[in-house]
Amino acid sequence: MKNKAYKYTSNMKNLKPTILAILMVFLSFSEGFSQRKKSNAPVFSEVVYEGKDQVYIDNPLNEGEFYNPLLQGCYPDPAITRKGDDYFMVVSSFVMFPGVPIFHSKDLVNWTQIGHVLDRKSQLKVQDAAIAMGVFAPDIKYNPYNDTFYMITTQFAGDFGNIVVKTKDPFQGWSDPIKMKFDGIDPGIFFDDNGKAYVVHNDAPNRGEERYDGHRVIKIWEYDLENDQVVAGTDKIIVDGGVDPSKNPIWIEAPHLYKKDGMYYLMCAEGGTGGNHSEVIFKSDNPMGPFIPAPSNPILTQRYFGNNRNNKVDWAGHADLVLGPDDKYYGVFLGIRPNDKNRVNTGRETFILPVDWSGEWPVFENGLIPMEPKLKMPAGVIENKTGQDGFFPNGNFVYTEKFDSENLDFRWIGLRGPREDFIEFTKNGLQINPFNVNIKEVKPTSTLFYRQQHKKFEFNMTMDYQPQSEKDLAGIVCAQSEAFNYVFGITKVGNDYMLLLQRTEAKGRGRDRKVTSEILASTKIDLSKTISLQVKADGDNYEFGYSTDGNTFKNLGGQVSGDILSTNVAGGFTGNLIGLYATTANDALPQY
C-alpha cells in the first residue's frame, strides 16, 4: 500500500503542471465566455431626475410649512402606526420588487425610507403577475402587548392571498409570510387594550345576496395571536354595502378599526378608487358591532368640486389615522394630481391632513374643500428637512444618481423580480445584464425603475453600450404597464446602430383586446461617443431626446402624448415608471 501511495503521489506531482495548464485554459475560456455574455450589457454612469411643477414655484414654503403630498409618485394606499416617538408608514407596491416600501419619521413631516417589508423571493412571489396584480393595500400596526409590528396585506400572486408578516424591529427585516385563512381583500389588523386582536377586511356578500355591481361588505374576525391566524367561525359582516344601503353604495373597502374613549370606530373607503372616492366612519360599543355610520359622512372626499379648479387634487380616500407628536390626530390617505388633460401619470400618491377628533366623530380638517398644496407642520416640529440629510424629498427637487455605491437607493425598484438578479456594480457605473425578456412580457424584466413624481420633469441618463444584434436593445422605458409603454432605446440593424422610439398600447377588451406596437421615429447613431438619453414631460406632452456631448439634446419623434402612461387610460393602479431598460428580446426593428 505504501508503494502504491507513493506511486500515486509521484504521478500527481508529475501531472500538476499539466493540470494547472488545463485549468488556466479553462478559466481563461470561462472568463472570455463571461465577457462575451456581458458584451451586450449597458453600463449606466449617471441619472439626473428634476421636478419642475409650477405649483411649487407659485407656492414657496414659509416657515413652519410643508408640502402635500408627502410622497409624490406611485406610493398609494398608505397605512401608518406609532411606537413611542417613532412613526412607520407603508404603501402598496403591486408587482414592484422589493415590495411594500416602508418609511420612518419622528414628526410626520420628515420621512426616511428604511427599506421594504417584502424584500426577498420567499415573501414576494409576483414573477408571473400582471402589473395591476401583486401587493395591495398593506396595513401596519404595532402591538404593545407583545412588542411586535404586524404588516397584513393581500398578495394577488404566488398562491398567497391574504398574508401577515411580523417583526420586533422594522429596521431589521420581517418574517416570511403566514397565509391567512379567509378570502377578500384589504385586511386591517387591530389590537384592543384588553389584549385581544381582530382582523377586518373587504369581502363579497354571502352567496346569493349580492344586490348590485360593486356591492361589498366589511367582515371582522377574532385573531389568535399565538397561532397568527383568524379564529374559525368568528367571522361576521359588520357593514353591508356602505353608509346608506338604500343608495347602493359601491366598494366599501380598506377598513381600519380604532378605539377612543371606550368606543370602537371603523373607518373605510367608499365609492371606488376614482372620482367618487371618499372616506367614511362608523361607531360601535363592541368591535363585533353593530356599527352605526356618522351622520356627517363622508369625512374626506374631493368629489364635489369642478374639474377646472387650480392645483386639482382628486380621488381622495383610503385613509388611516394616527395620534401625532402634538397629541392631535392626523390622517394619511391617497390622492391624485391630474395634469391639464386629466391624466394620472404620477399615479396615486400619499397625502396627509390633520384630523379634528375633539367631538364624537373624527373629521379631516379641510378634507371636504379643495385641497391646498401645503399645510402647517404639527405644533412642536422645529424644522422641515425634506430632501436633506437622507430625508425623502418633496416639492420640486433634483435627484442625481451616479451609481458609485453598491447601496442602491431604495427608490430604484425592479419589476416582478429582485434588482440583484440583473444589476452589477462596476468601476464605470451600474451594469444591467439583460434578460431575454421584453418589457411587454409578464415576466421579471431587466429594468431598473424610478417613479415619475412630477407633472413637469426631466429624466436624463448616460450610458455606455454597443448592441451586438437586432435582438439587443438598451435605453429608457416609460411604462404604465406591460401593455402601455414607450421604449426609447438603441439597437443594431445590419451594420448600423439605431436609436428608436416605440409606442405600445392595448386596444379593445376581452377576446378583442390586442396589444400593438408602432415605431414612431428612428435614426442612426454614433456610439463612439458617450450617449445620453432623455425623457421630459410638461403635463400630457412628452418628448424624447439624445445627446453625444451630455449637454445639447436633439429631439426624436417630436411631441408625443402621455395618454398611455395614465392610470385612467391604461387602467390598473400604478403611475408612470421610468426605467433603465436592457433586453436581448427586442422586437422593434426600424426601417431606414
For the stretch 467-494, pLDDT in tens is: 999 999 999 999 999 999 999 999 999 9
- For 265-293, the pLDDT digits (tens) are 999 999 999 999 999 999 999 999 999 99
Catalytic residues: 77, 253
Residue 512 burial class via C-beta count within 10 angstroms: exposed 0-12, middle 13-18, buried 19 and up: exposed
- For 121-148, the pLDDT digits (tens) are 999 999 999 999 999 999 999 999 999 9
> Kind and range of the H or E element at 47?
strand 43-51
| Residue 133 confidence (pLDDT) | 96
pLDDT cut 70: percent of the chain above it: 93
- Using alpha carbons, select from 76, 122, 77 the residue that is nearest to residue 97: 122
- Using alpha carbons, select from 155, 152, 102, 153 the residue that is nearest to residue 125: 155
- For 507-552, the pLDDT digits (tens) are 988 788 899 999 999 999 999 988 999 999 999 999 999 999 888 9
C-beta of residue 372 within 8 angstroms of C-beta of residue 379: no
Strand blocks (E) in 271-313: 278-284, 292-293, 300-301
Q: What is the mean pLDDT of residues 432-450?
A: 98
Strand blocks (E) in 409-495: 413-415, 423-426, 429-432, 445-451, 456-464, 473-481, 484-493
Q: What is the mean pLDDT of residues 114-122?
A: 98
Strand blocks (E) in 204-348: 217-224, 229-230, 236-240, 253-260, 263-270, 278-284, 292-293, 300-301, 314-323, 329-336
Q: Is the pLDDT assigned to residue 411 strictly greater than 90?
A: yes
- Using alpha carbons, select from 414, 415, 432 the residue that is nearest to residue 423: 432
Cα(526)–Cα(530) distance, integer angstroms = 9
- Can you say how many angstroms the Cα of residue 330 is from the centroid of all Cα atoms in its chain? 23
Q: What is the mean pLDDT of the chain?
A: 93
| Residue 40 confidence (pLDDT) | 87
